[in-house]
Structure 1
Amino acid sequence: MIEAEQWIEGLIEQAGWLGPVLFIFLHLIRPFLFLPVVVVCVAGGYLFGFLGGAVYSIIGLSLMSAVFYKLVNHFPRVGERMLKLKRKVAGERKMTIGQVMVLRVMPFVHFHLLSLYLMDMTKSYREYMHYSVLGVITPALLYTAFGEVIERMPWYESLTFLTVLLVLYAFLERRKKQKQEQSED
């Protein structure tokens, strides 16, 4: 994996003005290379600086969301496989859009699994893309800006960061249940 990252880095650096295009394309093929989102975003910050890396990552992740939506809707087998994965991982669990947004920030949470949740919660492609783009901004900014910090954090700081995100997720879950109970009354 390290060799693949070095090869990709060298290719983008030598590409000149085509570098950003190749980097955005890397986001599109990332799932096939089994590269986590965090790795690609951190690479964007390293190669293009914070602003460029964040913008290119937002564009790439947004395009990936659009491609995923089209694949799932145009190829039923892809959709069925992803739904099986969703059921296997999360069962019939329901989430709010806020919870999906929090999970998008967590490193190594399956990007497309969360996209399936967004597809279930939204009524149209436009609404799905609206929330998808909003959902990739925070991780793109966070991983691009703080990627090296997150990667080099001692285990106890990483665990603290993960705990804060899990508490935020649980808070949103509790709030969702309270709203459901209030609407039933």
Structure 2
Amino acid sequence: MEQSLDSIQFVIEESGWLAPLFFILLHVLRQIFFIPVILVCLLGGYLFGVFYGTIYSLVGLIFTSLAFYIIAKKFPKVTTKLFYLKKKYFGSYHRMSLVQMMIIRLMPFIHFHLISLYLLEISKNVREYTKYSFYACIPPAFVFTAFGHMIHELPLVLSLTLVGLLFIAFTFIGKKEVTYKWSDFFTAKS
């Protein structure tokens, strides 16, 4: 087993610029194959190291977010249904700050594109969406690449403690305001 891992590492080192390109493409295509973000980032940390793995994962996650943006704009009916589901499960008035979105992206059981939907909702244009996506993708790209393997091998109690701490941070950093629209209280007569 160790010999095959060494041979894979050798092939990647000798492939030059193709290995990072294929890795970034894997990030974009992983959603088609239902591969979790954490697994791809872990692979990046193993294959490229912490620094380059984080950079390649960040680029791949940005391209994934941009693909979501393009699909959302090309198919507005799908986006409308996604916003309906978000409203149904999270309520109309639930807002998250960018810091909350960065924290929740660290939770591997939260779907990546749920946060992309929130980013789409708060963005005015593609440039702003890309900027917010960049910030929201930094924590998972770094943490999953650098420490993901270590987190996976922690005992269950420590893993649950880490998730609990992230949940507490998520709760206390959140926005404390609720916005109600005039139409929620008064209906216009036609």
TM-score, normalised via structure 2 length: 0.81
On the 8 A contact 1:38/1:108 being kept in 2, the answer is no
- Alignment coverage as a number of residue pairs: 170
Q: CA RMSD in A?
A: 2.3
TM-score, normalised via structure 1 length: 0.83
Q: What per-residue deviation string (whole Å, max 9, x for no partner) do you get for residues 113-138 of structure 1?
A: 10110111122211111010011111
Q: Which residue of 2 aligns with 1:61?
A: 61
Q: What per-residue deviation string (whole Å, max 9, x for no partner) do you get for residues 22-79 of structure 1?
A: 1000000111111111110000001111111111000000011111111101112331
Q: Describe the shift of the 1:111–1:15 C-alpha distance in structure 2 as closer, same or farther (beyond 3 A).
A: farther
On the 8 A contact 1:38/1:143 being kept in 2, the answer is yes
Q: Which residue of 2 aligns with 1:136?
A: 137
Q: Which residue of 1 aligns with 2:186?
A: none
Please identify which structure carries the higher helix content. 1
Q: Which residue of 1 aligns with 2:46?
A: 46
The one-letter amino acid paired with 1:66 is: L
| Greater gyration radius | 2
Q: Match of 2:32, SS?
A: helix
The one-letter amino acid paired with 1:116 is: L
- What is the correspondence of 1:21-40 to structure 2 with a 5 Å cutoff? 21-40=21-40
Q: Which residue of 2 aligns with 1:82?
A: 82
Q: Which residue of 1 aligns with 2:146?
A: 145
Residues in 2 aligned to 1:85 and 1:39: alpha-carbon distance in whole angstroms: 27
Q: Which runs of 5+ in 2 are unaligned?
A: 180-190
Q: Which residue of 2 aligns with 1:167?
A: 168
Q: Which residue of 1 aligns with 2:118?
A: 117
